[in-house]
Amino acid sequence: MLREVTATRYVEPLRSGGSVPGIVEADDLGTYVVKFTGSAQGRKALVAEVIVGELARALGLRFPELVLVRFDPAIAADEPHQEVRELHAASAGINLGMDFLPGAKDLTPQLAEVFPVDPLEAGRIVWLDALTVNVDRTVHSSNLMVWPTFGTAPPRLWLIDHGAALVFHHRWDTSTPEKAYDFRHHALGRFGPDTAAADAELAPRVTEKLLRDILAEVPDAWLTDFGTPDEMREAYAGYLLARVRASAQWLPTDFPGREQLAAEEADRAARAQRGRPAWLKQVPDLHGKPAARQDWSVHLG
């Protein structure tokens, strides 16, 4: 089961995502990024975080530890923004925390140019995303972190943020386990993901027992769609097990190469430029032009 900790100090909110998670310190001396039950995404996002994150860990992918965080809004009484205070007030009790990775860098398209990812590792991550129908790991929002390691070991790739996965639990009556995963612009597509090898390696490891063990970690209070919490666990396990068995029908294998991605980006920038007013056409398109490449090896090596 997930460990339970109590938040003792509210550090700051993170405004990079719509759920406005917060960084907190807890009574186990750990620091966590907390996603709140009162956020607009609702508790289904937390269910997805637990299922996909724990599945990633079970399959040998790097994913920060998850904990249940008991949160008292009183510790964040000094938060100046009313909407954040309202979020906290709606989230008293148990929330979900992810171990904070200090110094980690987002895997941006610029960093991806100088940070190599092995095709098999890329394939494993794409395979997990395809299995869990994660629609939020794109070239512009990778939800992947490059975290420096100690000593002479190289930086490693860590997965975060799976709240947008398991899209089938938003439409139980119409989603089918065989549905294809059409995600050509996955954040790791440029690395030639070996999804066939990943499927051969990982599919046999996603067993009914593994799924039941993972689903046992989801709090009952977050499983409220229909029936009892145990009936919902059965529904999740059944769907994912059926999807594993149908992997030949949804496995993504065709990803655009670097040249095609560059051509698409150039075309996007050109179309954006054509749509600008004449007086702006001499101003650089800072959103379409990649930032100057940095020597990330200095920061991450």
* Tens digits of residue pLDDT in 87-144: 999 999 999 999 999 989 999 988 988 998 999 999 999 999 999 999 999 988 899 9
Read off the pTM: 0.85
Q: What tokens does 49 get? A: 């975080």
* Tens digits of residue pLDDT in 48-85: 999 999 999 999 999 999 999 999 999 999 999 999 99
- Is residue 23 very low, low, confident or very high in pLDDT (cuts 50, 70, 90)? very high
The continuous run of DSSP H or E covering 207 comes out as none
Asked if pLDDT for residue 284 goes beyond 70, the answer is no
Asked if pLDDT for residue 227 goes beyond 60, the answer is yes
pLDDT on residue 288: 44
* Tens digits of residue pLDDT in 139-186: 888 999 999 765 566 889 999 999 999 999 998 878 899 988 877 789
Report in angstroms the alpha-carbon separations of 145 from 102, 106, 192.
11, 5, 19
Burial 174-213 (b: 16+ CB within 10 A, else e): eeebeeebebeebbbbbbbbbbeebbebbbeebeeebbee
* Tens digits of residue pLDDT in 232-250: 999 999 999 999 999 999 9
Alpha carbon distance 108, 230 (integer Å): 39
Angle between helices 43-58 and 119-131 (to 10 degrees): 140
Task: Provide φ and ψ at 234, rounded to 5°.
Answer: -60, -40
- Is residue 16 very low, low, confident or very high in pLDDT (cuts 50, 70, 90)? low
